[in-house]
Each structure stands twice: as C-alpha cells, then as structure tokens.
Amino acid sequence: MSKQSLPITPIQACTAAPLVREPLTPAAAVELASVFRALSDPVRLQLLSSIASRAGQEACVCDISAGVEVSQPTISHHLRVLREAGLLESERRASWVYYRIVPEAMARISRILDAHTTGTDAAVPA
C-alpha cells in the first residue's frame, strides 16, 4: 500500500475582523461579573422579575414575597444582594420597605447583551 501525499496548502494569515464596538475593559468586566453573579440565583431573578412587573417597577417587600418559597430573612438577603449589585434601590415607608428597579442598570445590561449594539457606551459601566 503506498502512501499518498496530501497537497500542502499555504498557511493563511489571520485577519482580524474590524471592531463594531469597544470590548469590555477589565474594570467593566469585573463590575459586570458581579451583576451577573447577583442574577445567577433563581430566587433573585424571581424577585427582580416581580418588582419589574409592577406598575412603576416598584413594589413593597410584602407584595414580592408572595409565591417565593423561601423564608423572609432569605428574601431580605436576596434583595440586599440585588441592591448591592446596583439593580435595586430601596426606601422605607412607615414599617414597609419598597424596592424599585434601577433603570440605568437594566439598560446597561441590555446594551451589553445586545449583540447588535454599536458604539462605545456598552463598554463603560455607569
């Protein structure tokens, strides 16, 4: 049996595709990773969705805890994580705490995740 030699093709040079937007800076990647860590828990996603689904994207903690199968201290912990990630703001009104979505934070996440976004604002954390 004879060995057949395969044709040798010249090595093609790697040509970089042009940038259509600025990639994440190291600092922006660290900040965004902390936001995604906050969103990586199903209970936190459920709580955030519950708040975002309400009129004015604001809800009392008593309203958003309904239907969530964890204790009140655990809900408070998850809401604190979302607040520390900059996704929620809170305000005490009498004996209740109200939480609201931070629109700028949600818009920043949307810009990062949108593959069709152009411009440099997607790489700069707010």
Give Cα 113 to chain centroid, integer Å: 8
Percent of the chain exceeding pLDDT 90 equals 49
Instruction: Considering only residues 12 and 22, tell me which one the structure prediction assigns the higher pLDDT.
Output: 22
pLDDT in tens, 32-45: 899 999 999 999 99
Q: What is the 3-state secondary structure (H, E, C) of the chain?
A: CCCCCCCCCCCCCCCCCCCCCCCCCHHHHHHHHHHHHHHCCHHHHHHHHHHHCCHHHEEEHHHHCCCCCCCHHHHHHHHHHHHHCCCEEEEEECCEEEEEECHHHHHHHHHHHCCCCCCCHHHCCC
The C-alpha R_g of the chain, in whole angstroms, comes to 23
Domain chopping of the chain, boundaries:
26-109
pLDDT in tens, 61-98: 888 888 888 998 999 999 999 999 999 999 999 999 99
Confidence band for 20, pLDDT divided at 50, 70 and 90 = confident
- Domain spanning 26-109 has what CATH number? 1.10.10.10
Percent of the chain exceeding pLDDT 70 equals 81
